[in-house]
Amino acid sequence: MRTVIKGLVIVLVLLGAAGGYVWWNYDAVVTMILKPQTAAAGDITEESFGLVTADGKRFALGDLEGALASFTPSADGTPRPLVLFVHGFGPDPDGEFGLYTMGELAKGADADVIMFNWPSWISMTEFPVLNAKAASERLIVLLEKMAELRGPGLPLADRPVMIVGHSMAGEVFRHLAEATPDLPAGLVKRILFAVPETALPGHRLWMEKLGFADEIFVFVNADDPALQVTTRMYNTARLGRTLTNLDGSAEPLAQNANYILLDPESWRHYFFVSGQRSEAIDQIFADILKNGATALKNVYLRPEPAGNVFVVVGPGAEGS
């Protein structure tokens, strides 16, 4: 009996040690498993993409008008803002978590929300960077359709449009901008990049091509564990994690963007998950989503000398 107990103790100790190693070396362990996609994304079909509303209704990517028609009109008939949510890496973006996130965005902006659903998952071992490029091509077509629907009497007439791009959506928009699409100025009121997973070096070049958006905001979290993984994977600083390159040099910032530095004290790759929220970040994100640059005067934001860089202060922030 003692031998059995000793054996169990040894097994538990080994499991605990292995778990501790993984916990403290999370990025190294995941990087050993996860590699960037190398094969061409040739198996993607139009059915791989779609539109999803916050109540779980699904539409073909070409049926934007159908998705817009599914929303209940506001009580006073006033056109409600529209948020286009572009998700990041993951196997089930339109599942329970995605729908919950869209619901939170709808509350924060008092808006209707549509997800641009793209194939952001291949397997546990492949990071879908080529799928992101394919997604950018479809997203351009969707934005062109939005531009067509802005005319008088059409579904997007007088409806302000905002975009929230989470994590690997940063890579989608990098490709989109580099394609230099012919989209009209003012098509989108603002784009919010939530901890964007894309390279920091050179981001100014593509971000300043997003001229169809009146305002751009980039939320940066130095302690983001997901971006720690990609930092190691690519050996390149990631835009959603830092504004400083790996050699310590400052990276030129986009003049058409404002950068919001979150508190580097906890896991915040997701903004709306229980245990990853803070009063300050909740309020700032919702305020910027709804009101744009005027929200930069929020009491929870401290401007930095750079002029377009702001640091979160207040409840839930470091040093508060």
CA angle in degrees (0–180, nearest 5) for 65-67-69? 65
What whole-number distance in Å separates Cα of residue 284 and Cα of residue 144? 30
Structure-token pair, residue 36: 């960037």
Strand partners, 311: 261, 302
Question: What pLDDT band is residue 41 in, cutting at 50, 70 and 90?
Answer: confident
Sheet with strand 50-53: strands edge to edge: 58-59, 50-53, 112-117, 82-86, 161-166, 188-194, 213-220, 257-261, 309-312, 301-303
Amino acid occupying residue 116: F
Contact 199, 239 (CB under 8 A): yes
The CA distance from 228 to 220, in Å, is 12
Tell me, what's the pLDDT at 75? 81
What would the pLDDT profile of 174-194 be if each residue is shown by its tens digit? 999 999 999 999 999 999 999
pLDDT at 12 over 50: no
The more confident residue out of 130 and 282 is 130
Identify the weakest region by mean pLDDT among 33-42, 62-71, 145-154, 188-197.
33-42
The total of other beta-carbon atoms located within 10 Å of residue 299's CB is: 10
CB atoms within 10 A of CB 305: 5
Please determine, for residue 171, whether its predicted confidence score (pLDDT) is greater than 70: yes
Q: Which of 65-74, 140-149, 274-283, 296-305 has the lowest mean pLDDT?
A: 274-283
Tell me if residue 98 falls in helix, strand or coil: helix
Helical packing angle, 2-24 and 26-33, nearest 10°: 90
Choose the weakest-confidence range: 26-35, 120-129, 288-297: 26-35
Crossing angle of helices 279-291 and 96-109, rounded to 10° = 70
Identify whether the C-beta of residue 268 lies closer than 8 Å to the C-beta of residue 276.
yes
How far apart CA 105 and CA 56 sit, in angstroms, is: 14
pLDDT band at 271 (very low <50, low <70, confident <90, very high): low
pTM score: 0.89
pLDDT at 212 over 80: yes
* Least confident among 81-95, 273-287, 299-313: 273-287
Give the separation between CA 272 and CA 98, rounded to whole angstroms: 10
Structure confidence by residue, pLDDT tens digits, 70-100: 999 888 888 899 999 999 999 989 898 899 9
The β-bridge relationship of strands 50-53 and 58-59 is: antiparallel
Task: Specify the pLDDT at position 143.
Answer: 98
pLDDT grade for 26, boundaries at 50, 70 and 90: very low
pLDDT at site 40: 83
Weakest mean pLDDT among 55-59, 99-103, 262-266: 262-266
Q: Which of 184, 162, 111, 176 lies closest to 293 in space, CA to CA?
A: 162
* N- to C-terminal Cα separation, the chain: 54
Using a pLDDT cut of 70, give the percent of the chain over it: 84
How buried is residue 63: exposed, middle or buried, by Cβ count under 10 Å (0-12/13-18/19+)?
middle
Q: List the beta strands (DSSP E) in 42-86.
A: 50-53, 58-59, 82-86
Instruction: Work out the burial of residue 27: count CB atoms within 10 Å of its CB; fewer than 13 is exposed, 13-18 middle, 19 or more buried.
Output: middle
C-alpha of 198 from chain center: 11
